[in-house]
Structure 1
Amino acid sequence: MNARSSGHAAIQQCLQEEVSIMTSLADLLKQEQSALIESDVVQLNDFTQSKGQLVIKMTELEKKRNSFLSDLGFNTDLEGMQAYLAQAAQVGDAAIDTQDSARHWDALLELTVQAKEDNRTNGSLINRRLSLNQATLNLLQQNTNQAGSMYGPNGQSTVKSTPGKGYIAT
């Protein structure tokens, strides 16, 4: 296998791994959406950590694929990948299934669009929840003379009650 075939195989491997990781990320975003709807804070915390790990892995794989593309003389953007796939299909290297690479690339693009939309939806759900929480807090603060100081940064009440005159504090 020559260096060019090796580069093709490396790109194909990266694409396969990227599709796998992006599938996991897309699935996780759907699960996160359910947890947001159900207000499952414990799961949301776990999902945040998992998402971070998957995004790091995706970034590493993208850099790797871009490096292989660059080594083969292609740009490291969308057009460069499309040009690579077109040229690889024309050359018809028997050792590399260019149709498989093209299918993986198309799947990756489709998964990315879906994940982006799901992430946008999750962001909207989070913003709606924050707005509801802020409205509730504002309502609670209206019912006190100490608006703005009812709760401290730790979420605990800052309003101190003192025993009335004639009461014995225990």
Structure 2
Amino acid sequence: MNATGSRHSAIQQCLQEEVSIMSSLTDLLKQEQAALVESDIVQLNDFTQSKGQLVVKMTELEKKRNSFLNELGFNADIDGMQAYLQQAGVAQTSAQDWDALLQLTVQAKEDNRTNGLLINRRLSLNQATLHLLQKNNNQAGSMYGPNGQSTVKTTPGKGYIAT
């Protein structure tokens, strides 16, 4: 196999790995969505770590694929990938994998947007609750100040003689 054929194979392999990882990421985003609805903090922490690892892998594979595209004389971007796929001799599976990757990416973007909305909603509810608690606390008179010390003063009243 010549160098060009080797790069074609490498691009195809990158695409297959990217599809697999992006599929895992979309699955993880769906699970994260369920954990957000259920307020499962433990799972959310685990999902955050897993998402980070998957994104790092995706970034590495994209850089690798773009490097191979560049070596073949194509731009290292989406337009370059489209041009590469339109050339004669490129395997049909590469085009199918590319389409699958684009579809999964759109799905992941939408799921991530939805999860962001859920997070913002939860944050707004928490802030409103905190505001309400602080408001009620100030009306009743605060027992403790911001430093954690008692704000209730114990001073002798009039006519009190300290002995």
- Give the TM bin, normalised by the shorter chain: 0.7 to 0.9
Given that 1:19 and 1:108 are in contact with CA atoms closer than 8 Å, whether structure 2 keeps it comes out as yes
1:61–1:145 Cα change, 3 Å = same
Amino acid at match of 2:84: Y
Given that 1:141 and 1:148 are in contact with CA atoms closer than 8 Å, whether structure 2 keeps it comes out as no
Given that 1:141 and 1:150 are in contact with CA atoms closer than 8 Å, whether structure 2 keeps it comes out as no
**Does residue 137 of structure 1 match 2:130?**
yes
Structure 2 Cα separation of the partners of residues 141 and 30 of structure 1? 35
Quick check: which has more Rg, 1 or 2?
A: 2
- Structure 1 residue 77 displacement after superposition: 1.2
Given that 2:143 and 2:151 are in contact with CA atoms closer than 8 Å, whether structure 1 keeps it comes out as no
Q: Which residue, 69, 85, 91 being the options, matches 2:89?
A: 91
1:135–1:9 Cα change, 3 Å = same
Q: Which residue, 113, 117, 120 being the options, matches 2:110?
A: 117
Give the fraction of aligned pairs with identical amino acids, expressed as a percent.
73
Q: Which residue of 2 aligns with 1:76?
A: 76
- Structure 1 residue 145 displacement after superposition: 2.4
Q: Which residue of 1 aligns with 2:161?
A: none
**Does residue 27 of structure 1 match 2:19?**
no
Q: TM-score, normalised by structure 1?
A: 0.83
Which whole-Å deviations, capped at 9, do the CAs of 1:14-46 have from their partners, x for residues lacking one?
Answer: 000000000000000000000000000000000
Structure 2 Cα separation of the partners of residues 33 and 12 of structure 1? 32
- Structure 1 residue 159 displacement after superposition: 6.6
Q: Which residue of 2 aligns with 1:63?
A: 63
Structure 1 Cα separation of the partners of residues 126 and 149 of structure 2? 20
- Runs of 4+ that moved beyond 3 A: 146-152, 157-162
Q: Which residue of 2 aligns with 1:95?
A: none
Amino acid at match of 1:136: T
Q: Which residue of 1 aligns with 2:5?
A: 5
Structure 2 Cα separation of the partners of residues 50 and 122 of structure 1? 15
Q: TM-score, normalised by structure 2?
A: 0.86
Question: Which runs of 5 or more structure 1 residues have no equivalent in the other structure?
Answer: 93-97, 166-170
Given that 1:11 and 1:68 are in contact with CA atoms closer than 8 Å, whether structure 2 keeps it comes out as yes
Amino acid at match of 1:17: E
1:150–1:134 Cα change, 3 Å = farther
